[in-house]
């Protein structure tokens, strides 16, 4: 369950690569037990933010505290309870799946007994239990990706940072990984992940941050992001009986237009300044009077894709 305690707090963090400003004064926090989805166009600063969070990039300005400790100064202590999966997961060619996990587990401070129970557990979680003895170079791209997730979860970190964990996975594997992330949340861990597959982000993220041009454009729950747009303007009406005379509704006060979007599906557009409750009541009344039967009447909420385009669409790629 999402807690109120912050596990990581960015305050005015900026990062430049020579003269290129990759992150511009971003401030946000990741809460205990939440899944935080991080979205934005290529080159927006997602990977840079994640690398700073896990201590791979140390020359940044601003303040970053993780678990109450300051980064980059406390990197070594913090990494005991951080899990990270980079965008391009790479292992040394000679390693087998088992050997890679053993080494990373030992480096994370796990003893032999713990490793003996954790390795089969994480392999089962990501569906790689049958390739435990295989060399990593013989795994498919998706399997290597999942091994990247397995190594990030091995030491049961409190904060898991995943850079595009769902890219390159087949639909079944995506479902599996999403389920793993939800289980992590249930277990009290926080997950900070980026993705370009917005439907996946919409599915599992408790809060979503939209970054572009190194700036955090918007941050909030999906409902909070949606609330920035007027969703009362458009309504979807599903009829169980379409009497066919719905066009006359256009004369109702507050109605901007009405269109047939399927056999029994109508899209009703209201004037933004209209009293939506009064207009909807009037429309329902008239539809019934004209012999239509209504199955449902729903405000059309924008999807995350539409929100993303709304927030990011107008911004130039850098």
Contact set with other proteins (CB under 8 A)? 51, 54-59, 76-77, 79-80, 82-84, 86, 88-95, 99, 103-104, 106-109, 148, 151
Q: Is 223 helix (H, G, I), strand (E, B) or coil?
A: helix
Residue 115 or 222 with smaller CB distance to other proteins: 115
Residue 125 or 249 with smaller CB distance to other proteins: 125
Nearest-approach distance from CB 133 to other proteins, in angstroms: 12
Residue 168 or 220 with smaller CB distance to other proteins: 168
Residue 191 or 280 with smaller CB distance to other proteins: 191
CB 211 within 8 A of CB 49: yes
- The residues, any chain, with a CB within 8 Å of residue 148's CB and separated by 6 or more, are 85, 86, 89, 165
- The residues, any chain, with a CB within 8 Å of residue 266's CB and separated by 6 or more, are 236, 237, 238, 239, 246, 258, 259, 260
Nearest-approach distance from CB 156 to other proteins, in angstroms: 13
Nearest to 34 by CA among 215, 181, 157: 181
Nearest-approach distance from CB 68 to other proteins, in angstroms: 17
C-alpha triplet 156, 158, 162: angle, nearest 5°: 85
Nearest-approach distance from CB 76 to other proteins, in angstroms: 5
Q: How far apart are CA 189 and CA 119, in angstroms?
A: 19
Nearest to 181 by CA among 203, 210, 155, 209: 203
Q: Distance between alpha carbon 29 and the CA centroid of its chain, in Å?
A: 15
Helix residue ranges per DSSP H, the chain: 46-53, 75-78, 97-107, 112-126, 141-153, 171-186, 198-204, 222-227, 276-289, 304-312
Residue 42 or 251 with smaller CB distance to other proteins: 42
Q: How far apart are CA 204 and CA 228, in angstroms?
A: 21
Residue 57 or 225 with smaller CB distance to other proteins: 57
Residue 128 or 198 with smaller CB distance to other proteins: 128
């Amino acid at each position: 369950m999402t807690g109120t305690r912050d596990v990581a707090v960015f305050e005015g963090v900026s990062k430049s690569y020579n003269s290129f400003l990759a992150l511009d004064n971003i401030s946000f926090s990741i809460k205990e037990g939440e899944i935080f989805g991080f979205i934005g166009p290529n080159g927006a600063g997602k990977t840079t933010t994640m690398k700073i969070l896990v201590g791979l990039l140390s020359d940044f300005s601003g303040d970053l505290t993780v678990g109450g400790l300051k980064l980059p100064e406390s990197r070594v202590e913090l990494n005991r309870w951080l899990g990270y999966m980079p965008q391009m997961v790479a292992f040394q060619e000679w390693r087998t799946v088992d050997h890679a996990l053993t080494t990373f587990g030992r480096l994370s401070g796990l003893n032999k007994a713990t490793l003996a129970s954790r390795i089969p557990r994480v392999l089962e979680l990501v569906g790689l239990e049958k390739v435990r003895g295989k060399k990593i170079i013989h795994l498919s791209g998706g399997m290597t990706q999942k091994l990247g997730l397995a190594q990030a979860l091995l030491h049961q970190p409190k904060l898991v940072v995943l850079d595009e964990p769902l890219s390159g996975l087949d639909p079944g594997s995506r479902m599996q990984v999403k389920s793993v992330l939800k289980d992590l949340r249930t277990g009290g861990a926080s997950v900070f992940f980026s993705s370009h597959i917005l439907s996946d982000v919409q599915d599992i993220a408790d809060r979503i941050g939209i970054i572009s041009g190194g700036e955090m454009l918007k941050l909030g729950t999906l409902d909070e992001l949606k609330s920035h747009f007027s969703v009362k303007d458009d309504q979807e009406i599903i009829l169980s009986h379409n009497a066919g005379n719905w066009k006359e509704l256009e004369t109702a006060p507050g109605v901007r237009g009405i269109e047939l979007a399927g056999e029994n599906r109508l899209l009703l557009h209201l004037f933004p300044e209209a009293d939506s409750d009064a207009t909807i009541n009037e429309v329902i009344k008239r539809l019934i009077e004209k012999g239509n039967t209504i199955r449902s009447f729903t405000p059309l909420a924008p999807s995350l894709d539409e929100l993303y385009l709304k927030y990011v669409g107008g911004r130039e790629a850098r």
